[in-house]
Amino acid sequence: MLPAYLPNPIAALCGGGAPIDGGRLYRDGRRFFGDGKTWRGLFAGILAGVAAGVLQIWAAGTYGISMLPQQTLLSVALLSVGALLGDLAKSFFKRRLGKERGAKWPIADQYDLVAGAFLLLLVFNPAWLFSEVTLPVFICILIITPLLHRVTNIIGYFLKVKEVPW
């Protein structure tokens, strides 16, 4: 999951600048995504996730690590792109509900990246998804994700990278 977990904190670290929606409003009069979704965050995050995945592929080959799911360039790209597309989609629906940037939205805030990453895998690489993400692996992901989310956001808040600790 590293290629899916890394993009969000890296986007928070490197994000800023032009928002993806260019400031445009949806027909409900609210922003499409809001100022929290920027091009720089998107590209830096995806790049970091792919870099982590490429490192995993290299490490698995070099050190013969076989108990971890075997990444491929495609799985790495889908995990990383899917994570931030999931985050973006969540922000779209968050704005439709009238929630401001940074507002809390339990469950969605934690699992957006998992939903995005797995949806892309399901569509573009289902063979990898079903062979590598077995039921125990999936259950672990469901448990670990909100814990990691909480811990990294608290760290991000104290490092003044995030404006809110969630």
Binding site for ligand CTP (CB under 6 A): 11-12, 15-16, 34, 36-38, 41-42, 84, 87, 91, 94, 101-103, 162
**Residue 39 DSSP symbol:** H
Q: How far is the CB of 103 from ligand CTP (least distance, A)?
A: 6
CB nearer to ligand CTP: give 34 or 116. Answer: 34
Q: How far is the CB of 74 from ligand CTP (least distance, A)?
A: 22
Distance CA 61, CA 42 (A): 29
Q: How far is the CB of 41 from ligand CTP (least distance, A)?
A: 2
**Residue 121 DSSP symbol:** H
CB nearer to ligand CTP: give 86 or 128. Answer: 86
Distance CA 4, CA 151 (A): 16
Q: How far is the CB of 86 from ligand CTP (least distance, A)?
A: 10
Q: Which distant-in-sequence residues (6+ apart) come within 8 Å of 41 by Cβ? A: 10, 11, 12, 14, 15, 16, 84
CB nearer to ligand CTP: give 94 or 118. Answer: 94
CB nearer to ligand CTP: give 36 or 128. Answer: 36
Alpha carbons within 13 A on the beta-carbon side of 41: 23
